[in-house]
Amino acid sequence: MSQVTEAMTLGRVGRQVRPWWALPKRWRNPIGIVGAIIVLLTVVTAVFAPVIAPYDPDAQDHDRLLPPSWSNLMGTDELGRDTFSRIVFGARVSLQVGVIAVVIALVVGAALGVAAGFFGGRLDAWLMRVVDILFAFPGLVLAIVIAGLLGASRTNAMIAIGVVYAPAFARVVRGSVLSVMSEPYVEAGRVVGASNARLIAQHVLPNIVAPLIVMTTVYLSSAILAEAGLSFLGLGTQPPEPSWGGMLNLARTYMEISPWMAIFPGLAIMIVVLGFNFLGDGLRDVLDPRLKMN
C-alpha cells in the first residue's frame, strides 16, 4: 500500500523506466539485432577486404588443396590460392551484385509503380498488364535466360536479377501509392495547387518508404542467392574473380579430396543471406504497422 502511494507521489505510475542505453522496446527483437550485426560485419569485411585478407586472393603461392591450418584458415584451392582471402574478397562481389541488382529493381519498379498508381487510368492498366506477364515467368528461368543471352558476366547478372525483381517492386509500390492517394493530405496538397512532381516527392514517396525498406532487405537476400546461383552455373561472375557461387561450382570437382572447398563458400552465402533475412524479419516487426498491434 505504502509503496503504491510512494510511486504515485513520485509520478511514476504507468511509466516505464528505461535506462538511457536501451533501445525502445519494439527495436529489441533479438533476431533483427543479430541480422543487423551480421550485415554490418559483412559490409565491413567487403570494405576492408584488402586489410582483412591475409593474402592476395589471386596469388597462387601456396601448396594446392591444403586443409585448413593456422596459415591458411580455410585451406587452399586447386590452384594454390588462399580460400579465406578469396571468401573475404568474395563478400565484395556478393554485396555489389546484390545491392546494384536490387537498386535497379527498386528504381525501375518504383518509377513504374508510382506512375501507374499516381496517374491511374489507361497507363495503369497497360503497365500492370506488362507486370502481370513478367510475373507469369518463373523468376530464375527469366534470370538465366537474360543473363545467358546477354553474355555471362557480372554486370549482366546484375541486370538480369534487377529486371526479374522489378515487377515485384512495381506492384508493391503501386499498391502503397494507391492507398496513400486516398489520404486527406494528398487531397489537401492538390487543393492548394501543388504540382504533380511536388505531390509525388513531398507527399507520396515519404509515405511509402516503410514497406519498401522491408522489401528491399528481403530482396537483397534473394539477390545474393540468385547471384551465387548464376555464378555457380557459370552465368554470373567469371573466374578468376572470387565469387562464392563460382568457388562452390569449382569445388565440386575436387570435393572428395578436399571437402573444405565446398564447405566454406556455401557457409559464407548462408550466413550473409541469413543476416539479411534476420534483419528483414526484425525490420518488419518495427516498420509494419499491421503486425505492431500483436
Partner 1 sequence: MGLFILRRLLMLIPTLLGMSVLIFLMLRLLPGDIVDIIVGADPQADSAARQRLREAMGLDDPIPVQYVRWLGDLLRGDPGVSLRSGKPVGQILWQSLPITVELAVLAVLMATVVAIPLGVISAVKRDTGMDFGARVAGLIGLSLPNFWIATLLLLFTSTQFGWVPKTRYISLFDDPLGNLKQMWLPAAAIAVQLMAIEMRMTRTTMLEVLNQDYIRTARAKGLRDQVVVYRHALRNALIPVITVIGFQLGALMGSSAIIEVIFGLNGVGYTLLQAIFNRDYPLVQAAVLYLAIVFVLINLVVDVLYAVLDPRIKQA
Kindly list the residues in this chain that would bind partner 1 in the complex (CB under 8 A). Answer: 31, 129-130, 132-134, 136-142, 144-146, 148-151, 221, 225, 228-229, 232-235, 245, 248, 251-252, 255-256, 259, 262-263, 265-266, 269-271, 273-274, 277-278, 281
DSSP string over 233-277: TTSSSPTTS--HHHHHHHHHHHTTT-THHHHHHHHHHHHHHHHHH
Cβ distance to partner 1 smaller for residue 186 or 251: 251
Shortest approach of partner 1 to residue 8 CB, angstroms? 32
Cβ distance to partner 1 smaller for residue 24 or 30: 30
Shortest approach of partner 1 to residue 1 CB, angstroms? 34
Shortest approach of partner 1 to residue 142 CB, angstroms? 8
Cβ distance to partner 1 smaller for residue 1 or 136: 136
Over its C-alpha atoms, the chain yields an Rg (Å, rounded) of 24
Q: Is 200 helix (H, G, I), strand (E, B) or coil?
A: helix
Shortest approach of partner 1 to residue 223 CB, angstroms? 13
Cβ distance to partner 1 smaller for residue 106 or 144: 144
The residue written with cell numbers 489537401 in the block is 188
Shortest approach of partner 1 to residue 19 CB, angstroms? 24
Q: Is 207 helix (H, G, I), strand (E, B) or coil?
A: helix
Closest CA to 36 of 286, 289, 290, 292: 286
- Dist. CA 85–CA 284, nearest whole Å: 34
